[in-house]
Amino acid sequence: MEKTAVILAGGSSNRFGQDKGLLQLANKPLIKHVLKAVNSLVDEKLVIINSQAQAENYKKTLPPEVKVLIDKEEMHSPLAGVLVGFEEASGKHTVLLPCDTPLVSKEILSLLFELCVNRNAAIPRWPNCYLEPLQAVYCTKPALEAAKAALCEGKMNLQSMINKLRGVRYVSTLVLQQLDPELKTFLNINTPLDLRRADALLEHGK
C-alpha cells in the first residue's frame, strides 16, 4: 500500500456546540468534504477521534471502508492523534489533515505526495515561516519515530515532531497559489462566519 490519509477529528467545538467534523456544509458533514478530496489519491483512510461516543457517531456517518480509531485517552493532543494514525497507517506515505478544512485542494495534496518522494515530509510554509503541518505529507515510518520521540520528551505539538525529522521539503504557499489562487485549501471552520464563507465559496465554485 502506497498512500494513507489520516484525518484528525478529535477536537470538540464550544462555538458550535457539537462535533465539528459532523457539522453540515452543503448538506454534508465537514469530514465528508475532506474524505472526498482524498478519495482518489489514497489507498486507505483513517479518522482519529478521542472517545467511544465519538466513534459511534462517526461510524454511523462514514462509509465502512473508512477506519475510525480512538487516540490515547491519557494524552489528548494533536500529536497523540497523529501518533495513532502513523501507527495504524499501512501506506509508505501519509497525508495528515484536519476534519474542518472542507475546501482542501485535491491538486495541492497530489503535488505534496509527489514532492515527498525521497524526502521525509513535504510541508506547506507561508512567507512568514508559519507551517501547515496538518495539511502535509509525511514518510510514515520516519514520522512515526519522530512523533514517538517528541512525546517521550513530553512535547505535545507537531512542531516538535517536525524538528526531529531530517529531509523535510518545505513548499511555499506562493507556489501552491498556482493551483489554488485564494488558498481556500487552508480555510478552517472555527466560527459560524467561517461556515458561511465556505458555503458561499462552494456555491461560487459550482
Most confident of 54-63, 91-100, 147-156: 91-100
- The structure's pTM equals 0.94
pLDDT, the chain, mean: 91
Angstrom distance (rounded) from CA 62 to CA 31: 9
Q: Which of 106, 104, 84, 86 is nearest to 94 (CA)?
A: 86
pLDDT, average across residues 39-45: 95
Total tally of structural domains belonging to the chain = 1
pLDDT given for residue 86 in this prediction? 96
Closest CA to 184 of 192, 193, 173: 173
Residue 112 has pLDDT above 60, yes or no: yes
- DSSP helix/strand/coil, 44: strand
- The residue-averaged pLDDT of 37-55 equals 92
Q: How far apart are CA 87 and CA 78, in angstroms?
A: 14
Tens digits of residue pLDDT in 166-183: 999 999 999 999 999 999
pLDDT of amino acid 204 = 75
Residues present in the chain in total: 206
Q: Which of 67-71, 110-114, 130-134 has the lowest mean pLDDT?
A: 67-71
CATH of the domain at 9: 3.90.550.10
pLDDT tier, 125 (very low <50, low <70, confident <90, very high otherwise) = very high
Mean pLDDT of all residues in 34-53? 93
Q: What is the model's pLDDT at position 14?
A: 57
Range of the domain at 123: 3-205
Grid cell locating 159: 512542531
Give the whole-angstrom CA distance, residue 109 versus residue 91. Answer: 15
Cβ atoms 122, 112 nearer than 8 A: yes
| Residues 6+ away with beta carbon under 8 Å from 90 | 1, 4, 43, 44
Please give the average per-residue pLDDT across 64-88, as a whole number.
86
User: So what's the pLDDT on residue 50?
Assistant: 85
Calculate the alpha carbon distances from 178 to 38, 59, 83, 107, 183 in Å.
20, 37, 32, 10, 9
Q: What is the pLDDT of residue 8?
A: 94
